[in-house]
Structure 1
């Protein structure tokens, strides 16, 4: 199943400390839904999360 508007399999949104929103879309290779492609999408999602700057409110 994909997002009806973008075709993304998964989306990510991050609210930065300055209230700026960042958005990502993650698709599946050749839009094929199988275990290998889903694992790849999740790997990319967690890689993105890991690379985000850590925001610690003061």
Structure 2
């Protein structure tokens, strides 16, 4: 969640995110996934901001990453619900592909 992003970017967690076999999503991150998997940069120090609302990452046979924004960049309950739907669809799609 957005209020936990500064904690989630701690270098000690980078190795965990790199080893996970399911996608990890950082909700509220407008700086992508890099601050979370690179122990040499913090979320505060990461360059640039995007209009994305969520960033996902998976280090498997290939490295995959996703970003999802909110419809028209407007934060409403409906738009956030739709974004979560995309996140869950992504997790399900990845899960199905890895089970084949």
Q: TM tier, shorter chain?
A: 0.7 to 0.9
Q: How many residues matched?
A: 53
The normalised TM-score by structure 2 is 0.47
**Whose helix fraction is larger, Structure 1's or Structure 2's?**
2
The normalised TM-score by structure 1 is 0.77
Runs of 4+ in 1 over 6 A off after TM superposition: none
Q: Aligned in 2, Cα 1:2/1:30: closer, same or farther, shift over 3 Å?
A: farther
Q: What's the offset of the Cα at 1:21?
A: 1.2
Which consecutive residues of structure 1, in runs of 5 or more, have no partner in the other structure?
none
Which consecutive residues of structure 2, in runs of 5 or more, have no partner in the other structure?
1-27, 32-48
Partner of 1:25: 67
RMSD, matched Cα: 1.7
